[in-house]
Structure 1
Amino acid sequence: MTDNDSDVRLAHRLAEIADTLAWEFFGGAPAVQHKSDGSPVSEADLAVEKALLAVLAAERPGDAVLTEESGSLGTRSSRRRWILDPIDGTIPFLAGERGWGTHVALEVDEELRTAVLSRPTERSRWWAVRGRGAFTSARGEPLSAARPLRIPSAPLPLEAARVGGFLMPDSPVEPVRDRMRWVESSVCLVGDLLEGRVDAVIDEGGHVWDRAPAALLVHEAGGRVDDLRGGGRLDERWLVYAADGVADGLAGLLRDVGA
Structure 2
Amino acid sequence: MQGSANLNVMIKTARKVGRALLKDFGEVEQLQVSVKGAGDFVTRADLNAEQIIREELMEARPTYGFLGEESAEIEGQDPTRRWIVDPLDGTTNFLHGLPHWAVSIALEHKGAIVAGVIYDPVKDECFFAEKGQGAWLNESRIRVSGRNRLIESVFATGLPWAGRADLPQTLQDLGRLLPATSGVRRFGAASLDLAYVAAGRYEGFWERRLKPWDIAAGLIIVTEGGGMIDAVAAGDDIIGSGTVIAANNEIFDNFAKVIRS
| 2:195–2:222 contact (8 Å) kept in structure 1 | no
Name the residue aligned to 1:110. 111
User: CA separation in 1, counterparts of 2:82 and 2:254?
Assistant: 34
| 1:167–1:204 contact (8 Å) kept in structure 2 | no
- Unmatched runs of 5 consecutive residues or more in structure 1: 138-145
Identity %: 24
Name the residue aligned to 2:173. 173
User: CA separation in 2, counterparts of 1:77 and 1:196?
Assistant: 36
Identify the match of residue 258 of structure 2 among 224, 246, 253.
253
Please list the CA deviations of residues 189-227 of structure 1 after superposition, one character each: whole Å capped at 9, or x if unmatched: 333322222211112221110101111000001100010
Q: CA deviation at 1:76?
A: 7.7
Q: Does 1:33 align with 2:34?
A: yes
CA RMSD in angstroms, aligned pairs only:
2.0
Name the residue aligned to 1:242. 247
Q: CA deviation at 1:18?
A: 1.3
Q: Which amino acid aligns with 1:250?
A: F
Q: Does 1:24 align with 2:29?
A: no
| 1:118–1:124 contact (8 Å) kept in structure 2 | yes
Q: Which amino acid aligns with 1:150?
A: R
TM-score by length of 2: 0.87
Q: Which amino acid aligns with 1:12?
A: I
| 1:167–1:205 contact (8 Å) kept in structure 2 | no
User: Which structure is higher in RCO with an 8 Å CA cutoff and minimum separation 6?
Assistant: 2
User: CA separation in 2, counterparts of 1:87 and 1:152?
Assistant: 27
- Unmatched runs of 5 consecutive residues or more in structure 2: 161-166
Q: CA deviation at 1:111?
A: 1.2
Name the residue aligned to 1:221. 225
Q: Does 1:149 align with 2:142?
A: yes
| 1:67–1:85 contact (8 Å) kept in structure 2 | yes
Q: Does 1:163 align with 2:155?
A: yes
Q: Matches of residues 8-157 of structure 1 in structure 2 within 5 Å? A: 8-28=7-27, 29-36=30-37, 38-75=39-76, 78-137=79-138, 146-153=139-146, 156-157=148-149
Q: Which amino acid aligns with 1:208?
A: P
TM-score by length of 1: 0.88
Shift of the 199–214 alpha-carbon distance from structure 1 to 2, 3 Å rule, reads same
